[in-house]
Structure 1
Amino acid sequence: MKPTWIRLWFSAAIGLGVSQVALAEDSLVDERVKDELKTSEERFVITPHKVNYILPYTYNDNPNTDPYTNFTTNDDNEEVIDNAEAKFQISFKFPLWYNVFGDNGHLYFAYTNQSYWQVYNKEISSPFRETNHEPEMFMLFNNDWQVAGLTNSFWGVGAVHQSNGQSGSLSRSWNRIYGTMVFDRGPFALGLKAWWRIPEDEKATPSSPKGDDNPDIEDYMGNFELTAVYGLDEHMFTLMGRNNLQHPNKGSIEFTWSYPILGNLRLYTQYFNGYGESMIDYNHHNQRIGIGVSIGDIL
């Protein structure tokens, strides 16, 4: 039974995005599963959820200065948000209950932290510009449907809260129920994730601390995303597209490439173009490119 748990454990490690559960000869996850089998009995091992990475240098061609106007101006009343900043993500999860429904259905808790750090901006004391918190609870079901030459390896459902932990005019948050399915074949995998936002009450006044801080967030952050992964030798390529078909011009894409450099450490590059890279930027279009390292990467 343990190998099945580890396969599902790995599937959860990529945030219900993309993976290959079956241990086929050409499987993208073969080595990862073997590694997790080796450490499955280690009490203090932390299992990743989404990609854990640090990008010491990223460049954003259009920083979102509007939310910070009252906080980040110098003596000449000039906005001083830098184009260059560091970005990192820490993500982990752990199982709560295996085989909830006999021999299937596995319950997990996960947490992801994503931060944007104005580390080179000495003029305003190098603050953390934005930090997003994302706890979630989800259940995975292993599956073996064959669809158009692909295997539907698993499907899942979950609930997620995402916020930036701020108050007043900087506060951003939303809660969602989501479903996901993953299809794979050899070195290729495709994940579909769709969600429904849990409604919130409207604010009584714009400055009210209660109520919805971002009622139009779905227009920009969408209600579904597609993620594709392709492994070529030791190279790993991912492409994510997120959208709301009612507002097709307000979506986003993210492309990453990684390559192993030392042990589990991989050279990691990331390119983002669109809306909703972070909560504070949900309605702001930006284009960012960054380079750094990841630990283990998505697979």
Structure 2
Amino acid sequence: MKQMNTDEAIDKTSLVDDRVNDELATSELPFVMTPHNVNYILPVTYNTSPNMAPFENEAADHQFTLDNMEAKFQISFKFPLMYNVFGDNGHLFVAYTNQSYWQVYNKEISSPFRETNHEPEIFMMFSNDGQIGLLRHSFWGIGFAHQSNGKSGDLSRSWNRLYATSIFDSGPFALATKLWWRIPEDEKETPSSPKGDDNPDIIDYMGNLELTGIYGIDEHRFTMMLRNNLSNPNYGAIEATWSYPIIGQLRFYTQYFNGYGESLIDYNTHNQRIGIGVSINDIL
């Protein structure tokens, strides 16, 4: 299997190269699962205004409200199907990300999982060695992603998209860009029909563009994600994180989110959340 970047081209200070080398070293080990996005658990998060709108009917019947405090966690991994599909380039992966929101402190309603989003993907990454200003254009890729919350009726949310991504880096800094196109779905014949588009306006809030910057200082990792619809009315989101190793592979992990689309059930609702917990990896 050819390494994605030749040894001569490896910059020892590059966070991107460090992650590539770590993945290549463990990709064929039978008891090792390669992280895709960050794997974390935030036992304590605070949302300034939980979105009650999807649960109004149920709340009226059972007289409950959502707690501002809840737990949030994410499990994300990928598996390489094939390296060097096109001669000495083109690396094919499948991936899965699960993100869950747990009303663990809400004993009045038996601490339910408020929302769980499932996102399987298949994508191909290409090694690159271009230069744009001070940044190396290290990878680009294309992929398909399906995301849904696995619910039915009025609570069902889902969408499919094709995306293109590029990764740029320079030593301790990296920038990932992601552009997508939503695959159209048929309209519902009636609002209660199980078939058809559950969320036809999701692009208005989720947009078509996402930028993620990563910066490393010693063992500290700082990230910032920006997403926007680039239209009027303007909707977007920002997510900032900081992590630092505390023991072994375990990292102290903090996250702040402000905007639209934190989860599928909240895609059209403005959320502001801060959480603290631990992760077993960071993006880089």
1:165-180 → structure 2 map (5 Å cutoff): 165-180=150-165
Tell me how far 1:234 sits from its aligned partner. 1.1
Structure 1 counterpart of 2:228, from 232, 239, 243: 243
Partner of 1:51: 38
Partner of 2:48: 61
Q: Does the CA contact (< 8 Å) of 2:4 and 2:89 recur in 1?
A: no
SS in structure 2 of the partner of residue 203 of structure 1: coil
TM-score under structure 2 length normalisation: 0.95
How many equivalent pairs are there? 283
Question: In the alignment, residue 229 of structure 1 is paired with which amino acid?
Answer: I
Partner of 1:3: 3
Structure 1 counterpart of 2:89, from 104, 109, 112: 104
Q: Deviations over 1:226-274 (max 9, x none)?
A: 0100001111000000011114631000000000001111000000000
Q: How many Å separate the matches in 2 of 1:41 and 1:203?
A: 45
Partner of 1:265: 250
Partner of 1:15: none
Q: How many Å separate the matches in 2 of 1:87 and 1:274?
A: 17
Q: How many Å separate the matches in 2 of 1:154 and 1:218?
A: 26
Q: How many Å separate the matches in 2 of 1:223 and 1:263?
A: 38
Q: How many Å separate the matches in 2 of 1:5 and 1:71?
A: 54
Structure 2 counterpart of 1:277, from 242, 251, 262: 262
Which ranges of structure 2 fall in alignment gaps of 5 or more residues? none
Q: Does the CA contact (< 8 Å) of 1:220 and 1:247 recur in 2?
A: no
Stretch moving more, 62-71 or 274-283:
62-71
Q: Does the CA contact (< 8 Å) of 1:6 and 1:36 recur in 2?
A: no
Question: Percent of pairs identical after alignment?
Answer: 72
1:63-142 → structure 2 map (5 Å cutoff): 63-73=50-60, 77=63, 79-142=64-127
Which ranges of structure 1 fall in alignment gaps of 5 or more residues? 8-21
Q: How many Å separate the matches in 2 of 1:34 and 1:192?
A: 22
Tell me how far 1:181 sits from its aligned partner. 0.7
Q: Does the CA contact (< 8 Å) of 1:52 and 1:294 recur in 2?
A: yes
Structure 1 counterpart of 2:12, from 11, 20, 25: 25
Q: How many Å separate the matches in 2 of 1:37 and 1:113?
A: 24
Q: 1:173 to 1:149 in 2, by over 3 A?
A: same
1:290 and 2:275 are equivalent in the alignment: yes
Q: Runs of 4+ in structure 1 displaced over 6 angstroms? A: none
Q: How many Å separate the matches in 1 of 2:183 and 2:74?
A: 25
